[in-house]
Amino acid sequence: DRSPSRGLGDVYKRQLLIRPWIETLVRLNNSFIVKRGVSVRQMLEVSKTLSAYIHHAIKNVNESVWIAQREGRAKDSDDRTQGSVLKMLSIGGDKDNLLLNLMDLNIVPVAISYEFDPCDFLKAKEFQMKRDDPDYVKCQRDDLLSMETGILNNKGRVHFTITSPINDSLAKLDKDMEKNELVSAIASVIDREIYKNYRFYPCNYVAYDLLNGTRRFQEHYGPKDKKQFEEYLQGQLDKIVLPNKDEAFLRKKILEMYSNPLKNYLTTL
């Protein structure tokens, strides 16, 4: 039995390894590196090597591999499994079928729920900067600040839900359907398992009602909870410094970050 509690580590993007000590720390944490920014031909070779390593680790070494479902969590918390990740995972298998190669990995979705995201104000700021300048790209200093903020600042309560393996659900899919359609169907299975296993906190319910102008979830929070979240929200907005600061836009973006997991959960009911 492959226990999901014995992970080989997370996958780190090359552009986040800004300083040598960061790469050393990542490797000491039993993580492996995903190269980005290489040519298409090199990316294919890199993907084949990574996929073969993951298949070897799971099938031969009997270890688990923890891997993000996309190239980093969606900034608005609207998490969706990336098809290219599934295609990468399949190419290291020994079968001539994408679905069967993925089933060999015995995929177990994991839902991670943070009460607070320390980087919410940085993400909202980036949303406005990209809105105002479509060519805006974060610099290394921005990435380092995001990592520092995320590691050192308060996340409140954090909950992990390790779901059941999805092979039974994958076995019901038509393995002969068109490749991209099959990838989308597999991604939907993974997403559904993650969505229905989120853990929610008062801030999620308050954010949903504030964003939508409703009282739909008022039984899940009291006046004190609402007041505390509104004060937290304003405090995060106050940290954002922009010459043309659009506070209404920024507020909406942060509310979306806290309400989207709940919104996605509702689709599974």
**Residue holding tokens 């200093």?**
141
Tell me the CA end-to-end span of the chain in Å, nearest whole number.
31
Residue 6 has pLDDT above 50, yes or no: no
pLDDT in tens, 124-140: 999 999 999 999 988 87
CB 260 within 8 A of CB 142: no
pLDDT, greater one: 38 or 227: 227
Query: Buried b / exposed e across 41-56, counting CB within 10 Å, b at 16+?
Result: eeeeebbeebbeebbe
Backbone angles phi, psi at 52, to 5 degrees: -60, -40
pLDDT in tens, 58-116: 999 998 888 888 765 678 999 999 998 999 999 999 998 999 999 999 999 999 999 99
Residue 14 has pLDDT above 60, yes or no: no
Mean pLDDT along residues 165-194: 95
Query: How much of the chain, in percent, has pLDDT values that exceed 70?
Result: 89
Backbone angles phi, psi at 174, to 5 degrees: -80, 110
Structure confidence at residue 36 (pLDDT): 63
Residue 9 has pLDDT above 50, yes or no: no
Residue 145 has pLDDT above 80, yes or no: yes
Spatial separation of the C-alpha atoms in residues 265 and 118, rounded to whole Å: 22
Please calculate the CA angle 196-200-201 and round it to the nearest 5 degrees: 180
- Work out the mean pLDDT of the chain and round it to a whole number: 88
Structure confidence at residue 68 (pLDDT): 84
Residue 162 has pLDDT above 80, yes or no: yes
Residue 16 has pLDDT above 80, yes or no: no
pLDDT, greater one: 144 or 2: 144
Structure confidence at residue 72 (pLDDT): 59
Residue 227 has pLDDT above 80, yes or no: yes
Mean pLDDT along residues 47-66: 91
CB 200 within 8 A of CB 264: no
Angle between helices 223-238 and 202-212 (to 10 degrees): 80
Q: What is the pTM of this model?
A: 0.87
